[in-house]
Amino acid sequence: MELGLFQQQNLSLVMTAELRQAIAILQYPCYELSQFLQEQAVENPLIELSESPAFFNNDKKKALQKNKTNQDGDVISMMQPAVVSMHDRLLFQALSIPASDEIGSIIRFLILNIDQAGYLDITEEEVKKRFGISSGTFEKAVDSLHQLEPAGIGARNLRECLLLQLKSLGMEEDLAYRIADNHLDQLAARKLKQIAADLGTTVQAVEQAADFIQTLDPKPGRKLSSHSQLGYLYPDLSVIEDNGTYKLAINDHFTPKVQLNESYAHLLKSKSSGAAQYLQEHYQKLQWLQKSLEQRKNTLIMIAKEIVSAQQNFLKRGPEHLVPMTLREVADRIGMHESTVSRAVKNKVIQTPRGAFELKAFFTAKIETVSGENASSQTAKLAIKKVIEEEDKSRPLSDQAISEILASKKGLSISRRTVAKYREELNIASSSKRKRYS
Sorted by sequence, the CB contacts under 8 Å of residue 158 that are 6+ apart come out as 184, 218
Question: What percentage of the chain exceeds 90 in pLDDT?
Answer: 38
Distances (CA, A) of 88 to 85, 104, 138, 226, 402: 5, 15, 22, 10, 50
Report the C-alpha gap between 402 and 388 in whole angstroms.
8
Residuewise pLDDT in 10s, the chain (438 residues): 567 777 777 766 555 677 788 888 888 888 888 889 999 998 988 888 887 654 444 444 443 343 433 434 333 333 334 557 889 999 999 988 888 889 999 999 999 999 999 999 999 999 999 999 999 999 999 999 999 999 999 999 999 999 999 999 999 999 999 999 999 999 988 899 999 999 999 999 999 999 999 999 999 998 887 544 445 567 888 888 888 888 888 887 778 888 888 887 777 776 665 677 788 888 888 899 999 999 999 999 999 999 999 889 888 888 878 888 889 999 999 999 999 999 999 888 888 888 888 888 888 877 766 666 667 777 888 889 999 988 988 899 999 999 898 888 888 888 899 899 989 988 898 888 888 887
Longest dimension (CA), the chain: 96
Residues making up the chain, counted from first to last: 438
Report the C-alpha gap between 216 and 218 in whole angstroms.
6
pLDDT at 269: 72
Residue 314 burial by Cβ neighbours in a 10 Å radius (0-12, 13-18, 19+): buried
Report the C-alpha gap between 355 and 318 in whole angstroms.
10
Q: Could you read off the pLDDT of 24-34 as tens digits, one per residue? A: 888 888 888 88
Residue 2 burial by Cβ neighbours in a 10 Å radius (0-12, 13-18, 19+): exposed
Residue 55 burial by Cβ neighbours in a 10 Å radius (0-12, 13-18, 19+): middle
pLDDT at 74: 35
- Comparing CA positions, the residue from 364, 358, 350 lying closest to residue 320 is 364
pLDDT at 274: 65
